[in-house]
Chain A
Amino acid sequence: MSEIPKEEYIEKCTTACAGCTSSLALRYVLKAAGPDTVLVVPACCTSILQGAYPKTAFSVPVYNIAFAAAAACASGMSEAFLSMGKKTNVIVYAGDGGTVDIGIQALSGALERGTDFLYICYDNEAYGNTGMQRSGATPAGARTTTTPGGKTDAKKDLDRIIAAHNIPYQATATPAYPKDLYEKVKTALATPGPSFLHILIPCPPGWRISSDMSVTVGKMAVKTGSFVLWERKYGELTISSPSKTAMKRRAPLRDYLSVQGRFKGISDKAVNELEQAIEKNITQLTKEEAGEC
């Protein structure tokens, strides 16, 4: 394993909320990618936290694009760089809404076409930019401003949708495990063709946690099995070591839910359903890793 470089590509004064793990994740993403990188960012928190014109808090070019459009923009950019013989990294950094909802068509198209880029979905499980409305990635039972009684539908299974595109490299990560995240970005960028990274982003205002808890909550997501860390290279799945360790003795799901204000008042039935979904996901991933499916 290589050391995480000291260079910073995000200046200290971003307009992110205190405790934002998305900016933390992006910090590692850019460390792994280096300066010959262009970020493509659709409407989302990131389009705010980079700062206002004429300044920018990032020391790589950031191309802001409309909400539905990130993957298509990256497709055009990547092909243009290819036409010039340049190797510049093209990285989409998009929220869950811009990925699982409005942007999914463009994303699916770009993956199918084999676009040479890295698409990162940082998943704070809601529309942060517009004030914490539900997204397709909001888990069942979570309260958002448009699901004030708790979401009744399950979280959309983004990773399996992406997997169906059979891309060369796909992984999950969270900045609570920065080394794991850093290595996955490195691998993604070293793999030709499309790569996809799904990063879980505990979000203090959205999840109703205190800002000093966001990294801890990210760890709890992994320890309870709510979010499993793995990578799939050319179809071969490996569960990553933090999740391997967690699976030996999983932390109780209730611990993870009870620290978050958004799950306040969640019914026992909803908790059971979440438990079952976790069981099912882990079983499937374990089987896949063992080559049983």
Chain B
Amino acid sequence: MLMVATGNKAVAAAVKDAKPSVVAAYPITPQSEVVEKIAEYVVSGEMQARYIPVESEHSAMTACIGASVTGVRTFTATSSHGLLYMHEMLHWAAGARLPIVMANINRSLGPGWNVWAEHTDAYSQRDSGWLQFFVADVQEAYDTTLMAFRIAENTGILLPVMVNLDGFLLSHIIQSLDTVDPGDYLPPMELPHAIDTANPAGYGTLTGPQDHFRFRWEIERAMRNAPAVIREAEDEFFKRFGRKYGPTDEYLCEDADVLILSLGTLGREAEVSVDILRKEGIKAGSMRVRWFRPFPELNFGDRELVVIDRGYSFGFGGVLADSIRSRYHDASIYSVIAGLGGQEVTYDDIAGFVRDRKMGEEFWFGVDA
């Protein structure tokens, strides 16, 4: 069905179409519209889910855990401080191998209070065992949320999935949206370790070092299975619904001498920058990274990389830049830190990063002299 929607409403529509049994959520700017819309769907009967309006994000994630372990499909959404308030339970969800899907509307962290886009919230949950995707437009937010359920619930994965949308820049912009009927693209969820009172067992009991270590390895093994499973989900999505996705979204990369790497909406701006730069004779390309965990295999050849991070690991470096540097030791990187707290970064600014690039250095946009 063709319509127009915000990024938030696109996520809510995808959740409705995925037909979860339980949604537990707590509002936070700029995510609130997602949970309000879902609440409306439930009240109007468009969605059959049980909606649990919990008293905190810690409880939102925990209620999803309690529901998911009975073997039903669950969803929640959050942002920023909400995500960090869930932190303990994010590790729990992954450790318990529960295919919970969550939309995270990327926002900065206080102090001071700032409600605008930043990736620090998602970055800070990088090592929690969640799969993470970053999306750049309304249609992709919808499509990726649908795919997230299929990927999370694949029995070779059984890990939770986070879909990241830039606060306001995507959560609140209106674009056209084409919804689908997922049909058997989303088969009923089958959790092999669902609670069964006819077959009692202990879940998350005291566990010795050997077993614990093995369980962590199994999480990593699922992460290593994930690229094939995600590709299959994306290919099947393309076959059925005609929209193509992959680990990256590439624009004029093939013959490029310099690649702009980024996450989320910055990647869309970068495409315009590429057009500008090409007119000036600079052979640039944009490689927007969609999969953040598992981190994809990338092929740069010997091209220069301008990596833009909307977040930072203090005392270390830009997180995307460092992920690339640690995988590809020979990569020639100009690391740009830009857009924190919703700082405006235009395509002209991005073109400027490429023109003025100083390989091997780090540049804080708007702060560095």
> Could you tell me which A residues sit within 8 Å of B by CB distance?
35-38, 40, 47-48, 50-56, 58-66, 68-69, 71-84, 88, 105-106, 108-109, 112-113
Q: Inside 8 A of A50's CB, which chain B residues have their CB?
A: 202, 205
Q: A53-B205, A105-B59 are in contact. List 17 more A-B contacts (CB 8 A).
A: A35-B197, A40-B66, A50-B202, A51-B205, A53-B206, A53-B207, A56-B200, A65-B65, A69-B62, A74-B66, A75-B52, A80-B66, A80-B74, A83-B50, A106-B56, A106-B58, A109-B54
Query: Which residues of B in the span 37-89 have a Cβ within 8 Å of any Cβ on A?
Result: 48-50, 52-56, 58-60, 62-72, 74, 88-89
What are 5 A-B pairs with beta-carbon distances under 8 A? A48-B206, A69-B58, A72-B24, A77-B70, A79-B63
A73 touches B62 (CB 8 A): yes
Given contacts A36-B197, A76-B62, A80-B22, contact A47 B50 (CB under 8 A): no
Q: Inside 8 A of B72's CB, which chain A residues have their CB?
A: 80, 83-84
B197 touches A64 (CB 8 A): no
B64 touches A76 (CB 8 A): yes
A109 touches B55 (CB 8 A): yes
Complex partner residue of B62 from A37, A53, A65, A88, CB under 8 angstroms? A65
The residue among A48, A51, A76, A78 with the most chain B CB atoms within 10 A of its own CB is: A76
Complex partner residue of B196 from A58, A61, A66, A105, CB under 8 angstroms? A61
B197 touches A75 (CB 8 A): no
A79 touches B22 (CB 8 A): yes
Given contacts A52-B208, A76-B65, contact A62 B202 (CB under 8 A): yes
A84 touches B70 (CB 8 A): yes
Given contacts A52-B207, A54-B211, A61-B200, contact A105 B67 (CB under 8 A): no
In the complex, per-residue mask of B254-298: 1 if CB is within 8 Å of any chain A CB, else 0 = 000000000000000000000000000000000000000000000
Complex Cα spacing A84 to B205, Å: 26
In the complex, per-residue mask of B16-33: 1 if CB is within 8 Å of any chain A CB, else 0 = 000001101000000000
Residue of B nearest to A64 (CB): B204
Q: Inside 8 A of A109's CB, which chain B residues have their CB?
A: 54-56, 59
- B203 contacts chain A at the CB level, 8 A cutoff: yes
A63 touches B206 (CB 8 A): no
- B3 contacts chain A at the CB level, 8 A cutoff: no
Given contacts A72-B58, A76-B52, A106-B58, contact A66 B69 (CB under 8 A): no
The residue among B53, B65, B70, B201 with the most chain A CB atoms within 10 A of its own CB is: B70
Complex Cα spacing A53 to B70, Å: 20
Pick the 4 closest A-B CB pairs, nearest first.
A76-B66, A109-B55, A76-B63, A56-B202
B197 touches A38 (CB 8 A): yes
Complex Cα spacing A241 to B204, Å: 40
Complex partner residue of B55 from A65, A83, A105, CB under 8 angstroms? A105
- B345 contacts chain A at the CB level, 8 A cutoff: no
Q: Inside 8 A of B63's CB, which chain A residues have their CB?
A: 72-73, 75-76, 79
Question: How distant is A137 from chain B, measured CB to nearest CB, in Å?
Answer: 22
Q: Inside 8 A of B65's CB, which chain A residues have their CB?
A: 65, 69, 73, 76
Q: Inside 8 A of A105's CB, which chain B residues have their CB?
A: 55-56, 58-59
A106 touches B196 (CB 8 A): no
- B300 contacts chain A at the CB level, 8 A cutoff: no
Residue of B nearest to A67 (CB): B88
Complex Cα spacing A54 to B206, Å: 9
Question: How distant is A107 from chain B, measured CB to nearest CB, in Å?
Answer: 10
Complex Cα spacing A71 to B200, Å: 21
- B92 contacts chain A at the CB level, 8 A cutoff: yes
- B229 contacts chain A at the CB level, 8 A cutoff: no
Question: How distant is A11 from chain B, measured CB to nearest CB, in Å?
Answer: 11
Given contacts A74-B66, A76-B74, A80-B70, contact A51 B54 (CB under 8 A): no
Q: Inside 8 A of A84's CB, which chain B residues have their CB?
A: 21, 70, 72
- B331 contacts chain A at the CB level, 8 A cutoff: no
A80 touches B67 (CB 8 A): yes
- B253 contacts chain A at the CB level, 8 A cutoff: no
